[in-house]
Amino acid sequence: MNLTSGPWQKRKMFNSGRRTLLLLLLAFSLLAPTALAFADVRILLYHRVGDSRYPSTNVDKETFRLQMRYLADEGYAVITTRALEEHLLNGAKIPERAAVIHFDDGFLSVYENAYPILREFGYPFAIFIPTRALDKSYGDYMSWDMVSELAGEGVEFGVHGMDHLRLGLPKDGDTPKAYSERIASELGGGMERFRALNLAPRWVAYPYGEYNQEVMESARKLGYELGFAQDPGAVPQGGDPFMVPRFAVVGTVSDMATFKERVGYEPLSLADMRPPPGIVEGGETASFGADISSPELYGSGVNLFVSELGRVDAKVDFGEGVITAPGATLKRRMDRVLISMRNKKTGRYALASWVLMNR
């Protein structure tokens, strides 16, 4: 099956909207020389739309439409993932306030409920596919024919693994070699299936949002350009291209108030995150914290949260640009560290986060 050609030209209005967007982006780059060198970008991650059977991963259709309208009303430019890639890796200019729309898993409700709404607004978007689910024609997922149709209309696709396996930790009894081979098989198998269907496998979204240093390095070696996490935060300047953050819009965090709050966050650029993203042996952490790339931008202290601990008493040295908080023993399989600070000039909060896997 060739997914880049064929009679998939039913919905011309969507392509027309995309062409208009591209022309606007071109005009922006030519007429706005004062644009920021690095834009303020957030990625909005959805799973199901209008499927109340699965409330934890769903957002209802009317709320989804209101969220898309909010982006338009507030002046956010919705850009393609390819444009985001060029911006992050090559410094290509994009609008100063940009949003990217993603869907993980390729559920049928995206085709039936989300796609018509996105077509109305002319918004580009990307779907990340766990390839085996479509190969086995699972009933709750899109078909490859649907993927063909959407690809013909300009929708982008990325890999979400092959079998949607948890990769953040080895299984009990795994040898280092067995664990490495499973990572390579999961990420590489999805990539090869994409290639067989003439889809370009440029990006991977880690199943369940689980990753560590070995998972990221495997994605690099396989030839992916970007790796997407599920860590809340706007996209920071100079961040690792294999732990790109995304705001999940699902379940209890899919309401409009939370959506507006998350869209409003600025990126927070951090370095030397402590503990570093990935595996924490025995859950033992000596401390939590990070170095701030631009401490002069912020004031009024810092907020540091750990998923299972809640807010942790943290201190910030603005002169040195260092955030520190006492460590703890973590019990959960996966935690996230979240840090937010208020920008003195804009009054908006900046947010960054990363994942910790407890072995």
Range of the domain at 156: 12-265
Handedness of CA 297, 45, 56, 189 (dihedral sign): negative
Q: How many CB atoms lie within 10 A of CB 282?
A: 9
Instruction: Tell me the pLDDT tens digit for each residue of 277-314.
Output: 999 999 999 999 999 999 999 988 999 999 999 999 99
Task: Reply yes or no on whether the pLDDT at 20 is more than 50.
Answer: no
**Residue 119 DSSP SS3:** helix
283 contacts 331 by C-beta, under 8 angstroms: yes
Which CATH number do you get for residue 169? 3.20.20.370
The answer on 282 and 255 residing in a single domain is no
Residues 6+ apart with CB under 8 A from 93: 28, 29, 35, 39, 87
What is the pLDDT, as a whole number, of residue 39?
A: 82
Q: How many domains does the chain have?
A: 2
What band does 37 get if pLDDT is binned at 50, 70 and 90?
A: low
**Does 52 fall in a domain?**
yes
**Does 244 fall in a domain?**
yes
The answer on 285 and 251 residing in a single domain is no
Q: How far apart are CA 57 and CA 64, in angstroms?
A: 13
**Does 2 fall in a domain?**
no
- 80 versus 30: the higher-pLDDT residue is 80
**Does 220 fall in a domain?**
yes
What is the average per-residue pLDDT within 313-323?
Answer: 96
Of 244, 265, 286, the domain-final residue: 265
What is the average per-residue pLDDT within 85-105?
Answer: 96
Task: Reply yes or no on whether the pLDDT at 5 is more than 70.
Answer: no
**Does 44 fall in a domain?**
yes
The answer on 194 and 178 residing in a single domain is yes
Which CATH number do you get for residue 277? 2.60.40.10
The answer on 57 and 138 residing in a single domain is yes
Q: Residue 322 forms beta bridges with which residues? A: 291, 317
**Does 71 fall in a domain?**
yes
What is the pLDDT, as a whole number, of residue 4?
A: 40
**Does 4 fall in a domain?**
no
The answer on 224 and 338 residing in a single domain is no
The answer on 275 and 254 residing in a single domain is no
User: Residue for token digits 């869209």?
Assistant: 263
Instruction: Tell me the pLDDT tens digit for each residue of 132-162.
Output: 999 999 999 999 999 999 999 999 999 999 9
Task: Reply yes or no on whether the pLDDT at 6 is more than 80.
Answer: no
Average pLDDT value for the chain: 91
The answer on 141 and 54 residing in a single domain is yes
Of 233, 265, 297, the domain-final residue: 265
What is the average per-residue pLDDT within 80-108?
Answer: 97
Q: How far apart are CA 108 and CA 103, in angstroms?
A: 11
Instruction: Tell me the pLDDT tens digit for each residue of 225-272.
Output: 999 999 999 999 899 999 999 999 999 999 999 999 999 999 999 999
The answer on 258 and 140 residing in a single domain is yes
Packing angle, helices 256-263 and 61-73, rounded to 10: 30
The answer on 89 and 52 residing in a single domain is yes
Q: How far apart are CA 341 and CA 324, in angstroms?
A: 14
The answer on 58 and 26 residing in a single domain is yes
Task: Reply yes or no on whether the pLDDT at 359 is more than 70.
Answer: yes
Of 265, 281, 303, the domain-final residue: 265
Q: How many CB atoms lie within 10 A of CB 179?
A: 16
Q: How far apart are CA 246 and CA 267, in angstroms?
A: 11
Please provide residue 319's backbone torsions phi and psi, each rounded to the nearest 5 degrees: -65, -45
The answer on 326 and 243 residing in a single domain is no
What is the pLDDT, as a whole number, of residue 114?
A: 98
The answer on 354 and 219 residing in a single domain is no
